[in-house]
Structures are given as structure tokens and as C-alpha cells.
Amino acid sequence: MKRKLGALVTSFAVAATVLAGCGSSNANDPKTITFWTPLTGEDGAYMDNLVKEYNATNPEIKVKHVVTSDMYTKISTVLSSGKGVPDLTIIHADRVPGYVKQKQLEPMTAVMQAQPELKEANFLPQAWGAGNIDGTQYTVPLDIHSNVMYYNKDLLKKYGAESFLDDNNVTIDEILSLKGKLDEGDYVVNDALIGWVMLAQIQNLGGDIQKDGKPAVNTDVMRQAIEDVKKINDAGLMTPFGEDGYLMFQSGNVLFSTDGTWSSTAHASVENLNFGVTNVYSASPDKFTNRASSHMFAMFNSEQRTDEKEQGIAAFLEFIRSHSVEWAKAGQIPASKEVVESPEFKNYMQSFFTSNEEETKSLYIYTYEYYPYIAEAVDKYVGDLIRGNTPIDEGLQAMQKEVEDKIGESNGGAAADSGK
């Protein structure tokens, strides 16, 4: 009851913030930068802290952080009306190509000119590159947040699997080697963020999700990735379908949990959970990939945004670039090289993923224009496919059709040709 009541109070608080933000006239206030984010979790509080720290420097134009649930829908609404468009937003990397194609984003050219340190050389390459379309920079990255794999140190020792981590590449074959060796109720891996895991396997197998600009979901590579992960389930080594594998890891019954960088803070709060972090398991002994994304600062087209506000936005983003170690507290990997190379960042578990060039390169951000449709379809179907609830060929055909139908709807009914 207490948990339900807390959630209810939280929902009211978020709703109040959202309503206040959407009804605010700050977008027309020359001394306030209205800043919308979709950070409805604990990360919103860390962003609040960063904004407070910046405003405490007494800038000429202060920043107002507005947590906006269902932000992409609200953005669409304000863009259609031309009223209430925020001065600054955080969007995800996979949204950039679509917004640019619709000519809804303003380039960061003036912002970068105002603050010369806001440049490619000062940011992690994947994060910066995801905001560059045809040579124009449309975003400044805040972070990289990634699918990673946590491991239970005590269970690895118990089952003699510590050597799996010798090369930081746990393979599916190594996982399968534990078949028949676990106590009842223990499992090798859960199904947390299984869609992200599958998209990483596509890269490990040398594949892609598009071919010649068209979606490629019903492919031999996707089939192979599903079959490889399905072996783990068929061997009885994956947490049961419908069970909360994330909580089972926190309860000490799972060796590996494939959730996100942002989960490190939650895992750390669990008493007696002796854990570490490594790369997501791979079908290949020669390559590992951690499917990632990026929170990116962006400016939607707005007639109300003045040159002075753009100067203020530039000053705020430069502050974030040099002070975003605060963002690491949310379990994120700051995109700023200055921060990730600092001694302080090395105190955070996710610094493992910027500890060398190979690790940094493993953070893979999909930038295909229709990636959001593909990710949604993979998340929808992949659980049933690896559990054997749906035949693989049937599921792949359904995924491909669903993606093509959504692309057709977004393009006014001109359905995309099959990617296979």
C-alpha cells in the first residue's frame, strides 16, 4: 500500500510539473530558457541539480527545466500550433534523422559559434556523430546510455565461471557450458532489455537493420541472432518467461543481467548484492557490442527563440560539457571527453565502457531513419520468438510487415518495399 501511495503521489507531482510546463509562458520570457526533457525517472532529479548549479552562476538568461511526460507527442502538438515550443529539449539519438527530414530542427551552428568548445573533438564520437546529418550538426550530446551486462560475483565463483570475464566477452557458448550445473532456481542470464540484446547480436554477426535505405528485419542475420539466443532459453538457462528477471538478479539468483547503465544505482542499493559490469554477451568470440543511445540537446524550430536565447543556450551547454560528472550519478556515460577522462568519473561503474578504445567503440548507436519502428517491432516480438511461442519465420514476416506499414503511414501511405 505504501508503494502504491508513493507512486500515486509521484504521478500527481509529475503531472503537475507537466501541466505547469505546458501551460507556461516562459517560452516568451526573454530572460528564461524553457527546457523540456522526457526524464521522468530519477535522472530528472539529476538534471534538476545541473540546472540549479548553472542558474547559481547567475547567467543573464536562466534555464527552467520542465519534465514532460509523453514529450514527443507534446512536441508534435506545439509544433503544429506554433505556440509554446520549448527553447531547448532533450531528444533521443534515433529521433534526429526523422526530425531533420521533416525540417523541424534548427542547426546548432550559432550555438557552436558562440561557444567554440562545443565541437566534435570534445565529445565521444558516436554521440556527436549521431546528431550530424549530411554535414550539419543538429544536436549537442549529453550522454551515451547503453545496454550492459551486470554479473553476480558470488555466483560466478560458485559455478566456476569467473574465467568467462577474462577477455570481457562472455559468449553464448560459454553460457551454454553451464547447462545442468546450476542449483534449482538459479539461472545464467535474464531477459532484461532483450530487444536491445538482439540488436547488438545483429552487429556481432556483421549485419544491419537496413539495406539501401529500406528496413531489413526479415533477414538471415536476424534469424541467426534469434536462434543463437533461443539456445540459452531452450537449455533452461534463461529466467522463465513472464518472471521479472531483473528482480531475480537483485535477489541473487541470476549470474548475468542485461539491463542498462542507468541500473547501476538501483543494483548498488541492494544489500549484499556483490556485482560488477561487463559487455553484453555475444554470439561471436571475436566481437562484442553494447546497443546504445544518446540523450541530445536540440532546438525545435521556433519564431520566439531570440538570438540572445541561443547565446544563453550555448552558455548552458558549455556548462554541461564541463560539469556533467553530476550526470554520471544517474548511471549515464557523459558524452563530454573532459568528464569521462577525469579521475572523478573513474569512480563510477560505467566508466568501464570508456576505459579503452575497444570498449568505447562497442557502444553502438543506430542512426537509421526508421530505427524507432524497427526497435518497437523487435521489442514486441522477440520475447515470444526466443521462447518458442511464435515460429521464427512467422515472427520475422510479421515484424517486417509491421515496420513497412508504419513507414508507409508516416510517408502518407507509400509503403516501403521489403528489405528482404
Q: Are 134 and 333 in contact (CB under 8 A)?
A: no
* 6 and 99 part of one domain: yes
Give me the pLDDT at residue 11, please.
41
346 in the same domain as 228: no
195 neighbors 375 (Cβ within 8 angstroms): yes
Does the residue 8 lie in any domain?
yes
Task: Say if residue 171 is in the same domain as residue 280.
Answer: yes
Residue 102 domain-assigned (yes or no):
yes
Q: Distances in Å between the alpha carbon of 133 and those of 123, 138, 168, 201, 381?
A: 17, 7, 33, 26, 31
Domains of the chain: total: 2
Residues 378 and 313 in one domain: no
Domain assignment of residue 71, yes or no: yes
Do 194 and 221 fall into the same domain?
A: yes
**pLDDT beneath 50: ranges in the chain:** 1-25, 413-420
The full DSSP string for 120-184 is GGGB-HHHHHTTEETTEE-EEE-EEEEB-EEEEHHHHHHTT-GGGGTTS--BHHHHHTTTT-SPT
Any domain includes 101: yes
**pLDDT recorded at residue 411:** 82
The pLDDT value recorded for residue 373 is: 97
Query: Are 17 and 66 spatial neighbours (Cβ–Cβ below 8 Å)?
Result: yes
Q: Assess if residue 420 is contained within a domain.
A: no
Whether residues 227 and 242 fall in one domain: yes
* pLDDT tens figures, 384-405: 999 999 999 999 999 999 999 9
Residues 50 and 88 in one domain: yes
**pTM assigned to the model:** 0.90
Q: What do you get for the CA distance between the two ends of the chain, in Å?
A: 51
In a domain, 360, yes or no: no
Return the pLDDT at 129. 97
Provide the CA 106 distance to its chain's centre, in angstroms.
23
Q: Tell me: the pLDDT tens digits for 302-345?
A: 999 999 999 999 999 999 999 999 999 999 999 999 999 999 99
Name the strands in the sheet holding 149-152, side by side, starting at the edge strand that comes first in the sequence.
Answer: 187-189, 254-257, 149-152, 275-278
pLDDT at 27: 57
Q: How is residue 175 written as a grid cell?
A: 553460457
- CATH no. for residue 340? 3.40.190.10
Could you tell me if residue 163 is inside a domain? yes
Strand partners of residue 90 = 297
Query: What pLDDT, on the 0 to 100 scale, is given for residue 272?
Result: 95
Other CB atoms within 10 A of residue 70 CB = 11
Least Cα distance to 290 among 191, 364, 181 occurs for: 364
**Dihedral, CA of residue 270, residue 273, residue 274 and residue 280, to nearest 10:** -90
